[in-house]
C-alpha cells in the first residue's frame, strides 16, 4: 500500500467511523443514558430511510425543496412517533426486567417490518441527493470522492459536539443524567421526570430516524436494513462505555479504523475483527472506554 492509498484509506476509516456514530447516536441516548435495551433502534433507522424515500414526493409537492424539507418533516414526525411510543409502551418498562424490554422491543421490530412491507412494499429504492451535494472531487487519477460523504461527516461531527454539549454542559443534560442515577430523588426535587424521559426518548428516536434519512442516499433503502445496523450500534455503545457520548464517538472511530483496514489487510478475518476488538477492550476495561 503506497502512502497516497494509505491516506485515502484513513479518510475512508474516519468517514465510516463518523457515520457509525451518527447511526448509533440514538441508541446512546435510549440504551446508554436511559438504560432501556432498545432492539427496535434498527427499525427507527429503517423508518428514517424509508421516510427519506417515501415522503419526498409529497413533501416537495407541498413545501417545495427536496431533501432538506423532507428531512425536517421526517424529524417532526419522528419526534411525535417517539413521544407516542414512550407514552404507550416504553414508560411501563423502566422498572421492569431487561428481558421484558428485549421482548417488547423485539416485538416492535416485527411490527415495523410488517408495516413497512404493507405500506411501501419489498423493493429496493434509491434516494437522490440535492444537486449542490451531488458532485465529487478527484483524489487521484482514477478515484474521486463524493461531496455528500464529506457532508455526512460534517453533520456527524456537529451532532457529536452538540450532544456532548447538551449532556455535560447544560441544565437539561444534568437533569437527565440525574434521572438515570436516581429517579425518585430527581422527582422529589420537583422535576417532572416522566415528561423529561418522554422528551429524551422522543429525541433518541428522532436521532435514529435522522441517521436513516441522512444515510439513505448512500446506503439505499431496502427491507431488513435496520437489522444490519443494530448489532454494530450496540457494539459502539458498549465499547464506548454505556452512557458516554465521548466514548461512543471514540468507539465508532476505532471500529471504522479496524473495519476499513481489516477489509484490506486481513480480508479472511474482516467479519470478526470488530468483535475481537470489542472483546479485547472489555477484557481491559469491563465498563467500556469511558464510564462516568
Site size toward another protein, by CB under 8 A: 46
What are the two backbone dihedrals, phi and then psi, of residue 146, each rounded to the nearest 5 degrees?
A: -70, 135
Name the CA radius of gyration of the chain, rounded.
19
Q: Binding to another protein by residue 57, rule CB under 8 A?
A: no
Q: Binding to another protein by residue 228, rule CB under 8 A?
A: yes
Q: Where does 140-244 have alpha helices with state H?
A: 147-169, 171-181, 183-188, 193-219, 225-240
We find the least distance from the C-beta atom of residue 94 to another protein, in angstroms, to be 32
SS (H, E, C) 97-151: CHHHHHHHHHHHHHHHHHHHHHHCCCCCECCCCCHHHCCEEECCCCCEEEHHHHH
Nearer to another protein, 86 or 259 (CB): 259
Judged by CB under 8 A, which stretch of 8-16, 76-84, 200-208, 239-247 contacts another protein?
Answer: 8-16
Tell me, residue by residue from 105 to 144, as one string, x for binding to another protein by CB under 8 A and - for no binding: --------xx--x---xxxxxx-x-------x-x-x-xxx
Nearer to another protein, 187 or 227 (CB): 227
- CA nearest neighbour of 26 among 247, 264, 245: 245
What 8-state DSSP symbol labels residue 35? Answer: -
C-alpha to C-alpha distance for 186 and 171, rounded to whole angstroms: 13
Q: Binding to another protein by residue 16, rule CB under 8 A?
A: yes
Among 23, 209, 211, 221, binds another protein (CB under 8 A): 221
Which residues sit at the interface with another protein, rule CB under 8 A? Answer: 1-2, 5, 8-9, 12-13, 15-16, 113-114, 117, 121-126, 128, 136, 138, 140, 142-146, 148-149, 218-225, 228, 259-261, 263-264, 267, 270-271
Amino acid at each position: 500500500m503506497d502512502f497516497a492509498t494509505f491516506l485515502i484509506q484513513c479518510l475512508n476509516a474516519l468517514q465510516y467511523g463518523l457515520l457509525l456514530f451518527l447511526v448509533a447516536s440514538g441508541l446512546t441516548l435510549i440504551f446508554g443514558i436511559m438504560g432501556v435495551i432498545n432492539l427496535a433502534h434498527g427499525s427507527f433507522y429503517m423508518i428514517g430511510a424509508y421516510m427519506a424515500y417515501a415522503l419526498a414526493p409529497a413533501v416537495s409537492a407541498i413545501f417545495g425543496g427536496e431533501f432538506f424539507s423532507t428531512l425536517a418533516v421526517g424529524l417532526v414526525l419522528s419526534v411525535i412517533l417517539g413521544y407516542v411510543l414512550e407514552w404507550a409502551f416504553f414508560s411501563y418498562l423502566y422498572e421492569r426486567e431487561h428481558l421484558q424490554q428485549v421482548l417488547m422491543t423485539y416485538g416492535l421490530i416485527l411490527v415495523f417490518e410488517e408495516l413497512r412491507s404493507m405500506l411501501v412494499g419489498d423493493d429496493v429504492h434509491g434516494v437522490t441527493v440535492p444537486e449542490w451535494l451531488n458532485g465529487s472531487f478527484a483524489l487521484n487519477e482514477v478515484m474521486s470522492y463524493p461531496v455528500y460523504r464529506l457532508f455526512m461527516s460534517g453533520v456527524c461531527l456537529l451532532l457529536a459536539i452538540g450532544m456532548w454539549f447538551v449532556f455535560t454542559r447544560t441544565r437539561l443534560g444534568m437533569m437527565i443524567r440525574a434521572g438515570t442515577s436516581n429517579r425518585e430523588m430527581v422527582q422529589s426535587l420537583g422535576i417532572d421526570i416522566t415528561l423529561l424521559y418522554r422528551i429524551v426518548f422522543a429525541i433518541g428516536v428522532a436521532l435514529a430516524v435522522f441517521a436513516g434519512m441522512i444515510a439513505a442516499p448512500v446506503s439505499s433503502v431496502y427491507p431488513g436494513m435496520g437489522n444490519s445496523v443494530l448489532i454494530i450500534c450496540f457494539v459502539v455503545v458498549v465499547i464506548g462505555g454505556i452512557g458516554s457520548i465521548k466514548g461512543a464517538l471514540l468507539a465508532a472511530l476505532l471500529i471504522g479504523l479496524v473495519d476499513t483496514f481489516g477489509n484490506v489487510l486481513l480480508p479472511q478475518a474482516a467479519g470478526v475483527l470488530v468483535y475481537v476488538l470489542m472483546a479485547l477492550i472489555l477484557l481491559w476495561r469491563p465498563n467500556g472506554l469511558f464510564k462516568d
